[in-house]
Amino acid sequence: MKVISEVTSHGGMQGVYSHESKACNCEMTFAVFVPPQAIERPCPVLWYLSGLTCTHANVMEKGEYRRLAAELGLIIVCPDTSPRGNDVADELTNWQMGKGAGFYLDATEAPWAEHFQMYTYITVELPALIGATFRADMQRQGITGHSMGGHGALTIALKYPDRFKSCSAFAPIVQPSTADWSAPAFEKYLGPDQSTWRKYDAVSLVEDGAVFPEFLIDQGLADGFLQTGLRPWLFEEAIEKTEMKLTMRNHERYDHSYYFISSFMEDHLKWHSERLGK
């Protein structure tokens, strides 16, 4: 693991690191904030998965999480959204595909399968590195994310209910298999058989019997992607048919940007901290 930068903030350490990923077959970069409490004891981990076109840097620079994470004693892990590098396949004129648009799935189709194994990277490879390198209590993990990252957080939590104690999302893509943002990418990554898409689709996972105790979702009602890309009401409808709990908060005048995310970041950190403390 290479240290790109480490800076002190609110008594903790904000670091940016890179390593050679076997899953993605390239060098991957990620950010970790370690609170001051980690000097004395292992701390719970909150994963933040970013959205389309983002890297680890967007939430690190705009998310406004460090002050409260330091107070609550939370390690915040911010992975990249896709493989990077000159050898990595891409569609230069399509921001919804390729670099910056990994969708937290394992691609099966050429040319994407060689590098785009983000599901394995997020669920297997990077957690092993975090657990071995930082003073992280891997028995207490939560997961959250924004947009495409919200999709990733919901789907991963639904498939790993024994690993994660909490899950939330900011403006998630809840049914990517049918959204105009993501369905074309799913076909390119996973092939035309839509039955294989269901394991990366939160609504489909709920319909197929996946269970997680409860979710928190915040959505801005001035979000330009609400009607065709995000459609959180589809997740609400699916959850209503189960015994799972969902706190769905809709906010007038808020859009899809980090102005929205940073406005409610502290609510999410406190929500996760309460559940990770148990």
The ranges assigned to domains in the chain are: 2-276
Residue 124 CA: distances (Å) to CA of 138, 144, 163: 12, 17, 12
The CATH number for 2-276, chosen from 3.10.20.90, 3.40.1160.10, 3.40.50.620, 3.40.50.1820, is 3.40.50.1820
pLDDT at 278 over 90: no
**pLDDT, tens digit (0-9, with 9 covering 90-100), for 86-139:** 999 999 999 999 999 999 999 999 999 999 999 999 999 999 999 999 999 999
User: Residue 179's pLDDT is what?
Assistant: 95
How far is Cα 259 from Cα 62, in angstroms, rounded to an integer? 8
Q: What is the mean pLDDT of residues 32-52?
A: 98
pTM of full prediction above 0.95: yes
Which tokens go with 122?
């997020």
| The one-letter amino acid at 246 | L
Question: Any idea which residues carry the catalytic annotation?
Answer: 147, 223, 256
> Under DSSP, is residue 140 helix (H, G, I), strand (E, B) or coil?
strand
Condensed to tens digits (0 to 9), the pLDDT of residues 247-267 reads 999 999 999 999 999 999 999
CA max distance for the chain:
51
Percent of the chain clearing pLDDT 90 (strictly above): 99
Strands (E) across 54-156 are located at 75-79, 136-145
Stretch 173-187: mean pLDDT, rounded?
A: 96
The predicted model gives 222-227 an average pLDDT of 97
pLDDT value, residue 161:
98
Across 1-26, average pLDDT: 98
Q: Are 45 and 130 a contacting pair, CB within 8 Å?
A: yes
| Tokens found for residue 55 | 């890297």
Residues 61-79: what's their mean pLDDT? 98
Q: Are 84 and 53 in contact (CB under 8 A)?
A: no
- Asked whether the predicted pLDDT for residue 152 surpasses 70, the reply is yes
| Position 271 pLDDT exceeds 90 | yes
Please, which pLDDT band fits residue 181 given cuts at 50, 70 and 90?
A: confident
